[in-house]
Structure 1
Amino acid sequence: MKTYQKVLSILGVSFLMLNSGCSNLPFPKDQKVENAFEKHLSIYPVKQLGDFYDMEGYRDKNFDKDDKGTWVLSSYFAEQDGKDEPLKSKGIVLFMNRNNKSTKGNYYIRNIYDDIEKNKTIEYPITVKGNKIVPIKAVPKEVEEEIENYRLIVQDESFGDLGKLKKIESRHNENMPLYSITYELDNQNKINEWIQKHYQIESRTSELYIERTGNLEGGSVGDFKYEVRYNTERKDKYKYYYESVIHQPTKED
């Protein structure tokens, strides 16, 4: 468990445990949150990643007048095979600048241990060409193939009507603010099938966790993300997929 918490901290992800003692709130509140979630997810799938250059995002007072903003796409798959094993993850982060229609980012490979001195991270600069993620400079052949074959849910699947999914738990705090809902994904769910195909996971049910921090309708402060989690009988084994799409003010180098 310590390793799991460490990687979330290192990746800058806030995480809420399902068994936190919170209870489901009345349906009207869930409906409002669910509608906002569906609005955020309605961009899926895009025809190609380059479409983000022309896609409008929520802008508030934190954006300069002429700043069209930057889309930040993050994704990784993580797993741990036992308490004495490292938590291994591979993923990407892309910064898609709408002002000059350029993308920079990194493909990373991480091994996280309880002993932080053993932690290891390797990063490779990447960009986007059309609907493909490619390395910026020469990399090992195996890594090049991993990068060029890397896919995001945003490219392939729609989340559809969240109201049709079985709801496991919801948690909303307007004071923070933070809103989250957890759903069950059955074996035939398209998102579940997509992850199982890409990461060689046996067919099984999973949980879809969606979280919004900050303004429920969007904004430059806060985060919108989702995870698909595969629970096991052993508490020292983890498998989960994370992805997020955020629109933020452009930060010039």
Structure 2
Amino acid sequence: MQKYRKKLGILLISLIMLNTGCSNVALTKDQKVEQAFEKHLSIYPVKSLEYFYDMEGYRDKNFDKDDKGTWILSSYFAESENDDEPLYSKGIVLFLNRNNKSAKGDYIIEKTHSATDKDKDESIKYPITVKGNKIMPIKDVPEKIKEDIENYRLIIQNESFGDFGKLKRLKSRHNEAMPLYTINYQLNENNNVNKWVQKHYNLKPQKAELFIERTGYLEGGSVGDFNYEIRYDSVQKEAIKYYYESIIYQPTKEE
């Protein structure tokens, strides 16, 4: 009977550990980082970009007492055929001011050359704002540009990143002193985030690499700064093709 009670006690303890999420197996650093990634990215997709007006971020000593902060959303797609060709990119930078609930930024078209030909670089900016969940030009712009701006979307408006633990991890690098955490994953061609990029930028179905980086402490409920890239290989190794997006929270800079 005593032996039976001992086995029953072990079974009950095991059940309690399962129900409370505990485990006698320690999480690896990568697993802890993945859980933090999932926790902080679980709020996406947002129903509206204006959601950021009410979203709290971590305030450090650089924030004034009454400053609610500004969210900065950045996004672009870049590609180049080879090392001899410039890098072409189109995207946005958007500042969402939580103090006065206003949005402003730019739709940017750029052509970037190698270091030896920097004088040939080109950049055109079109001022933008947000109305509802739509990005809009502030001034009159060519019809094609207007259409591109109004149809522009970010991953965080449409897709969830899901369970990182289900993705194939390629490599990782973590620096707790900074703090800075990065992991590279492989995305198959049917991954929802990969499919989103393929659809929006007319890419054929293919595998991709997701590079994700987070700054700020993993613990706590504050939202840290994130940036991520979806990178594509090419038959021509020197070709470049990737999508970039970032979410940053910083003190408001008054003009």
Give the TM bin, normalised by the shorter chain.
0.7 to 0.9
- The verdict on how the C-alpha distance between 1:166 and 1:244 changes in structure 2, with shifts beyond 3 A counting, is same
Q: Which has the larger radius of gyration?
A: 2
Counterpart of 1:19? none
Deviation at 1:43, TM superposition (A): 2.1
Counterpart of 1:52? 52
- Find the aligned partners of 2:238 and 2:220 in 1 and give their Cα distance: 35
The answer on whether the counterparts of 1:59 and 1:219 sit within 8 Å (CA) in structure 2 is no
Q: TM-score w.r.t. structure 1 length? A: 0.85
User: Where in structure 2 are the equivalents of 1:26-175 lying within 5 Å?
Assistant: 28-114=28-114, 115-175=117-177
- Find the aligned partners of 2:95 and 2:67 in 1 and give their Cα distance: 14
Give aligned pairs, total.
227
User: Where in structure 2 are the equivalents of 1:160-239 lying within 5 Å?
Assistant: 160-217=162-219, 223-239=225-241
Aligned CA RMSD, in angstroms, stands at 1.9
The answer on whether the counterparts of 2:225 and 2:249 sit within 8 Å (CA) in structure 1 is no
- The verdict on how the C-alpha distance between 1:81 and 1:216 changes in structure 2, with shifts beyond 3 A counting, is same
Deviation at 1:215, TM superposition (A): 3.4
The answer on whether the counterparts of 2:228 and 2:246 sit within 8 Å (CA) in structure 1 is yes
Deviation at 1:61, TM superposition (A): 2.4
Aligned-residue identity in percent: 68
The answer on whether the counterparts of 1:107 and 1:123 sit within 8 Å (CA) in structure 2 is yes
Deviation at 1:31, TM superposition (A): 1.3
Deviation at 1:50, TM superposition (A): 1.1
Amino acid of the structure 1 residue aligned with 2:211: Y
Shifted more, 42-51 versus 172-181: the winner is: 172-181
- Find the aligned partners of 2:233 and 2:29 in 1 and give their Cα distance: 27
The answer on whether the counterparts of 1:85 and 1:113 sit within 8 Å (CA) in structure 2 is yes
Structure 1's unaligned 5+ residue stretches are 1-25
Amino acid of the structure 2 residue aligned with 1:245: I
Structure 2's unaligned 5+ residue stretches are 1-25
- Find the aligned partners of 2:106 and 2:220 in 1 and give their Cα distance: 25
- The verdict on how the C-alpha distance between 1:226 and 1:104 changes in structure 2, with shifts beyond 3 A counting, is same
- Find the aligned partners of 1:61 and 1:84 in 2 and give their Cα distance: 45
Amino acid of the structure 1 residue aligned with 2:64: D
- The verdict on how the C-alpha distance between 1:177 and 1:58 changes in structure 2, with shifts beyond 3 A counting, is closer
